[in-house]
């Protein structure tokens, strides 16, 4: 009897692996259709990036430009009652989470790059950033060109910044952290003398930490796009259509103004 039960479970496992259990895989689903059926879009967002996606521990709410854009797009795509669900991603985890179907889309300070296009599709650009560096107020470093073998640059795993800084400061040592809060803590504790990522992200940090400043302007272009799984043309078209609509009806400008009232450089004109 026992043997029979074991065989039964073994057989079930084979059947399940062959795909008869647990519904369709992400690749076979039409996300445009399933998101309508569930009346929700699951967005992968940052939880540690001031101005774009930051978890407010007091309210348990995540807030920022990416969050407001995701809410506005959800409303355009699903109507007023549509739900925008937010799941935390980091630069390193966002593509795997998308590929595994844990999230429907990534809206998380993510640069559209040729390398990433091999794995995911991108919407039209919704924010224009550029990479920069941040140092302590009294640091002698004035630009990326000043970085040499004596400097340790802090960057985040899975970001374009980590790859770009190798090119622009080939002699500098690079320490890669898991996420932005860890990287900033490392800077504060002196594990590195420079931190690098997009200007808009660094500005958010410097604004609440006046001992630090951005120097040297930007040295790359980092156009942000919303990443979607490959073969989801319907969903991608709907996202682009919704983006167009929020530009046309002024919602985009309103959200931009809310988060970046003194800086037009990231704004994308339709």
- Asked if 74 and 39 touch (Cβ cutoff 8 Å), the reply is no
- Cβ burial of 168 (10 Å; 0-12, 13-18, 19+) is middle
CA distances from 37 to 31, 34, 83, 84, 123 (A): 10, 5, 12, 14, 22
Q: Rule CB under 6 A: say whether 91 interacts with ligand GLU.
A: yes
Encoded tokens for 17? 């692996």
- Asked if 198 and 132 touch (Cβ cutoff 8 Å), the reply is yes
* H or E segment and range at residue 193: none
Q: Among residues 98 and 156, whose Cβ is nearest to ligand GLU?
A: 156
Q: Rule CB under 6 A: say whether 110 interacts with ligand GLU.
A: yes
Interface segment toward ligand GLU; rule CB under 6 A; list 21-29, 75-83, 153-161, 168-176: 153-161
Q: Rule CB under 6 A: say whether 197 interacts with ligand GLU.
A: yes
Contacts of ligand GLU in 224-253 (CB under 6 A): none
Q: Rule CB under 6 A: say whether 198 interacts with ligand GLU.
A: yes
Of 94, 97, 101, the closest CA to residue 34 belongs to 101
Q: Rule CB under 6 A: say whether 220 interacts with ligand GLU.
A: no
- Asked if 75 and 265 touch (Cβ cutoff 8 Å), the reply is no
Strands across the sheet containing 120-122? 83-88, 40-45, 105-106, 227-229, 120-122
CA distance 47 to 180: 9
Q: Among residues 200 and 255, whose Cβ is nearest to ligand GLU?
A: 200
CA distance 139 to 61: 36
Shortest Cβ distance from residue 261 to ligand GLU (Å)?
Answer: 22
- Three-state secondary structure call for residue 74: helix
Q: Contacting ligand GLU (CB under 6 A), which of 74, 93, 109, 220?
A: 109
Q: Among residues 123 and 159, whose Cβ is nearest to ligand GLU?
A: 159
Q: Rule CB under 6 A: say whether 196 interacts with ligand GLU.
A: no
Interface segment toward ligand GLU; rule CB under 6 A; list 12-20, 65-73, 158-166, 203-211: 158-166
Interface segment toward ligand GLU; rule CB under 6 A; list 156-164, 168-176, 231-239, 262-270: 156-164
Name the maximum alpha-carbon separation found in the chain. Answer: 78
Q: Contacting ligand GLU (CB under 6 A), which of 82, 222, 239, 266?
A: 222
Shortest Cβ distance from residue 198 to ligand GLU (Å)?
Answer: 5
Shortest Cβ distance from residue 167 to ligand GLU (Å)?
Answer: 14
Q: Which residues pair with 229 in a beta bridge?
A: 120
Binding site for ligand GLU (CB under 6 A): 91, 108-111, 156, 159-161, 197-198, 222
């Amino acid at each position: 009897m026992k043997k029979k039960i074991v065989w039964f479970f073994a057989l079930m496992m084979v059947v399940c692996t062959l795909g008869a259990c647990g519904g369709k895989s992400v690749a076979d689903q039409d996300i445009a259709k399933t998101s309508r059926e569930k009346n929700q879009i699951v967005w992968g967002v940052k939880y540690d990036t001031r101005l774009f996606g930051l978890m407010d521990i007091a309210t348990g709410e995540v807030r920022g430009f990416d969050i407001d854009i995701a809410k506005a797009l959800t409303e355009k795509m699903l109507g007023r009652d549509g739900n925008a669900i937010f799941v935390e991603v980091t630069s390193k985890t966002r593509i795997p989470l998308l590929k595994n179907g844990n999230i429907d889309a990534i809206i998380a300070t993510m640069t559209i790059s040729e390398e990433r296009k091999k794995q995911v599709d991108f919407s039209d650009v919704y924010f224009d950033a550029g990479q920069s560096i941040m140092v302590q107020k009294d640091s002698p470093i004035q630009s990326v060109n000043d970085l040499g073998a004596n400097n340790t640059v802090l960057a985040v795993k899975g970001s374009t910044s980590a790859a770009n800084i190798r090119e622009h400061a080939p002699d500098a040592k690079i320490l890669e952290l898991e996420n932005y809060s860890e990287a900033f803590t490392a800077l504060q504790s002196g594990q590195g003398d420079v931190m690098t990522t997009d200007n808009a992200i660094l500005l958010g940090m410097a604004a609440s930490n006046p001992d630090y400043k951005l120097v040297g302007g930007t040295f790359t272009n980092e156009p942000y796009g919303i990443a979607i799984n490959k073969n989801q043309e319907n969903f991608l078209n709907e996202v682009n259509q919704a983006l167009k609509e929020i530009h046309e009806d002024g919602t985009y400008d309103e959200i931009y103004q809310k988060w970046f009232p003194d800086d037009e450089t990231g704004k994308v004109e339709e």
